[in-house]
């Protein structure tokens, strides 16, 4: 049993090392030539004939007013899951249709490869960019958008939730303003890519969402395998450890 314990311990340590390495490489930006040509396009925005409509989620009615038809191709550089247990802001606000926030780049910000030297992150409502001033000067604000994604379609929701960093996506829907029934506060989408700071985010009711290309798939598979291997080997270590202790106590 002691030899088995040592073997499982080695497997556990190797799984932890593999887990750490794969987690690091999953986050690494892909080379420029890995991006699809569709991502050269700027978002398409056009007047809409879609009328105001309402949807209900968790007993709350939301009134949505479409402003423009909207679609784009891009790669996700950062995201914020609104249902995370670490931050229940959206839940406390009673907003159950904002499924996820995604910060996306396309075009010039891919061609210049400036994305490789910048750090992107998301918080509640905002996308943050950090980097050296000389790198930031190459960055084009009008080739990035922070998008609040609204949906009441479960199939679309699953696709949105499954999208990860550096995944290349296609999205279609409406730029909207929306509010909860009976309340005066209205969240309104930006309607230009040239604005910055507060109010610059796109609020999109999503009608179509596709992951065109997953990023770092090899390392994602290694990460998944390492995660379950480390959990399984740890449980076996605990079982074997207590078996050894029990045997020693019995002999004593």
Q: What is the pLDDT of residue 86?
A: 63
Q: What is the pLDDT of residue 250?
A: 62
Domain ranges of the chain: 30-216
- The share of the chain scoring above pLDDT 70, in percent, equals 94
Q: Is the pLDDT of residue 241 over 60?
A: yes
Choose between 113 and 247: higher pLDDT.
Answer: 113
Q: What is the pLDDT of residue 242?
A: 80
Mean pLDDT for the stretch of residues 191-210 = 91
Three-state SS for 26-81 is HCCCCCHHHCCHHHHCCCEEEECCCCCEEEEECCEEEEEEEEEEEEEEEEEEEEEE
Is residue 5 within 8 A of residue 244, CB to CB? The reply is yes
Is residue 36 within 8 A of residue 168, CB to CB? The reply is yes
Q: Is the pLDDT of residue 177 over 70?
A: yes
Q: Is the pLDDT of residue 136 over 60?
A: yes
Burial of 24 (0-12, 13-18, 19+ CB in 10 A): exposed
pLDDT digits (tens, 9 = 90+) for 80-99: 988 776 667 777 778 899 99
Confidence of residue 247 (pLDDT cuts 50, 70, 90): low
Task: Give the span between the Cα atoms of 173 and 206, in whole angstroms.
Answer: 4
- pTM beyond 0.85: no
Q: What is the pLDDT of residue 57?
A: 92
């Amino acid at each position: 049993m002691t030899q088995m314990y040592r073997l499982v311990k080695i497997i556990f340590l190797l799984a932890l090392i593999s887990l750490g390495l794969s987690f690091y490489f999953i986050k690494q930006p892909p080379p420029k030539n890995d991006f699809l040509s569709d991502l050269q396009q700027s978002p398409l925005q056009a007047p809409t004939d879609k009328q105001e409509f309402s949807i209900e989620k968790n007993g709350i009615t939301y009134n949505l007013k479409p402003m423009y038809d909207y679609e784009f191709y891009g790669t996700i550089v950062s995201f914020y899951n609104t249902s995370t247990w670490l931050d229940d802001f959206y839940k406390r606000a009673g907003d159950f249709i904002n499924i996820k926030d995604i910060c996306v780049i396309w075009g010039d910000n891919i061609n210049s490869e400036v994305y490789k030297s910048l750090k992107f992150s998301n918080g509640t409502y905002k996308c943050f960019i950090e980097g050296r001033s000389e790198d930031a000067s190459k960055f084009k604000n009008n080739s990035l958008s922070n998008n609040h994604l609204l949906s009441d379609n479960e199939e679309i929701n699953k696709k949105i939730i499954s999208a990860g960093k550096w995944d290349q996506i296609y999205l279609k829907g409406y730029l909207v303003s929306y509010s909860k029934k009976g309340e005066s506060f209205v969240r309104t989408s930006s309607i230009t890519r040239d604005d910055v700071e507060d109010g610059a985010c796109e609020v999109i009711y999503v009608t179509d969402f596709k992951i065109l290309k997953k990023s770092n798939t090899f390392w994602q598979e290694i990460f998944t395998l390492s995660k379950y291997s480390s959990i399984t080997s740890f449980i076996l270590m605990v079982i074997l450890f207590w078996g050894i202790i029990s045997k020693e106590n019995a002999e004593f």
